[in-house]
Structure formats: structure tokens, C-alpha cells
């Protein structure tokens, strides 16, 4: 049962296991959806109306610069939340595209449903708080790494933090996420293998 993924996920982030009744309330605020590989969850210029919890599949978030080059800002797999948070919160047009890199099964929650749920569920509130903390820490680390770490250090951190991504995403996306060229990534990988 796919909803079990959300149930288990919630229990990982809250201090007291969630009751069946409270989980039923949480579940009722989500809508299941399937997205095919290469299909868009969000297109640049749209307002991000939903947050999605990935039950199955992989997605990426990217923007296209003035020269038409894609820059990957996030990669997502099962048990990750997906959205353009700024667009979602501020109701402004997104500068990002989010597409499915594999066939995906997701659970959608709208801004209105999220607001209602935060009023109704202590467990969901607790989870959101913990996720915000983790998100802030991860963002801080990413900024510091991008500013000062070498390409090799960035790659090593990536492998340590997200080993499953190496099997799920192609080289050019990983290179884009790390802010390096595909050639640099190939060279780093070869050096790592030869050690």
C-alpha cells in the first residue's frame, strides 16, 4: 500500500507514533497522481499550486538561463517533497521547471489543504518543523560548498549524502546539480575509481 510510505515517513519525524485516526485525517488532505517520465509537474511561469510527496519515481528541478542552458537545482526520489517553495508560499510565477525523470506516483497537497491540515494535526506540524530545520541546514551546506569547495569535495559529499542518486540520475544531471561540467565529473569519477 502506497500510503504506507507516507505513514512510515511521518513516524520517522515525530516524537510519538501517529494514531490511525490522525493518519486518516492527514490522508484525506492528499490527492494521488501519476506522472509519466518526461512529464512536467511544474513549468516555468506557472504558480506552484501543490507540494508533492514522492511515493515512487524520481524528479528534477531546474531553471534555464538566458543562454538556454539548464541548471539543475534539486534532484528528488522516493520519500522526498517536491515543489517550488517560493512560488507555493508567495503565489508568484515560478522560475523553475520540475519534471519526472522516471514514471512517478505522488501525493499532492494544495496550499489550502496544507493550511487546514496544519490546524488539525499536531503530528503533521511537528514533521513540517523538523523538515524546515533540515532543509535550512542542507541549503546552508550547499551554499557554502558551492562557494568554497572544490569539484572533488562537492562530488565526494554528494556520493556520501545521496548514494542512491548515482543509480537514478545520468551523469549530465549530476554534473549540473554540482555546478561542474560533465568532463570534470568524468575526470573526478575516474580518479576515484583508480584510488
Determine the structural domain holding residue 8 and report its residue range.
Answer: 3-120
Q: How far is CA 56 from CA 50, 51, 102, 187, in A?
A: 17, 15, 9, 32
CA angle 97, 102, 104 (to 5 degrees): 85
- Whole-number Å distance between alpha carbons of 9 and 98: 22
Task: Return d(Cα 48, Cα 73) in angstroms, integer.
Answer: 16
Give me the percent of the chain exceeding a pLDDT of 70. 97
pLDDT for 60 equals 97
Residue 192 included in any domain? no
161 within a domain of the structure (yes/no): no
Q: Could you tell me if residue 89 is inside a domain?
A: yes
Say if residue 195's pLDDT is above 80: no
Q: What tens digit of pLDDT does each residue of 152-184 get?
A: 999 999 999 999 999 999 999 999 999 999 999
**162 in a structural domain:** no
- Residue 93: beta bridge partners? 47
Please, which pLDDT band fits residue 34 given cuts at 50, 70 and 90? Answer: very high
Place of cell 509519466: 36
- Has residue 94 been placed in a domain? yes
CA distances from 138 to 24, 74, 94, 141, 171 (A): 31, 11, 21, 5, 22
CATH number at residue 25: 2.60.120.10
Q: For 99-112, what is each residue's pLDDT tens digit?
A: 999 999 999 999 99
Quick check: is 128 in a domain? no
Number of domains in the chain: 1
Please name which of 169, 166, 147, 140 lies closest in space to residue 59, comparing C-alpha atoms.
169
Does 110 fall in a domain?
yes
Q: pTM for the full model?
A: 0.90
Name the β-bridge partners of 110.
50
Q: What is the DSSP letter of 31?
A: E
Within a domain: 177: no
DSSP lists the bridge partners of residue 194 as none
Summarize pLDDT for 124-142 with one digit per residue, the tens: 999 999 988 988 898 888 8
Amino acid at each position: 500500500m502506497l500510503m504506507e510510505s507516507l505513514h512510515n515517513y511521518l513516524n520517522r519525524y515525530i516524537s510519538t507514533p501517529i494514531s490511525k485516526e490522525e493518519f486518516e485525517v492527514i490522508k484525506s488532505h492528499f490527492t494521488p497522481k501519476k506522472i509519466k517520465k518526461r512529464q512536467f509537474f511544474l513549468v516555468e511561469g506557472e504558480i506552484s499550486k501543490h507540494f508533492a510527496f514522492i511515493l515512487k519515481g524520481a524528479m528534477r528541478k531546474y531553471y534555464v538561463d538566458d543562454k538556454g542552458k539548464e541548471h539543475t537545482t534539486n534532484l528528488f526520489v522516493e520519500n522526498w517533497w517536491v515543489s517550488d517553495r517560493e512560488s507555493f508560499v508567495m503565489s508568484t510565477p515560478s522560475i523553475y521547471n520540475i519534471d519526472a525523470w522516471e514514471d512517478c506516483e505522488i501525493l499532492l497537497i494544495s496550499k489550502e489543504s496544507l493550511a487546514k491540515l496544519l490546524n488539525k494535526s499536531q503530528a503533521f506540524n511537528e514533521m513540517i518543523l523538523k523538515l524546515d530545520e533540515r532543509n535550512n541546514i542542507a541549503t546552508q551546506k550547499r551554499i557554502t560548498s558551492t562557494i568554497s569547495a572544490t569539484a572533488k569535495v562537492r562530488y565526494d559529499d554528494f556520493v556520501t549524502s545521496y548514494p542512491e542518486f548515482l543509480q537514478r540520475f545520468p551523469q549530465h544531471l549530476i554534473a549540473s546539480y554540482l555546478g561542474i561540467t560533465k568532463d570534470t565529473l568524468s575526470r573526478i569519477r575516474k580518479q576515484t575509481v583508480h584510488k
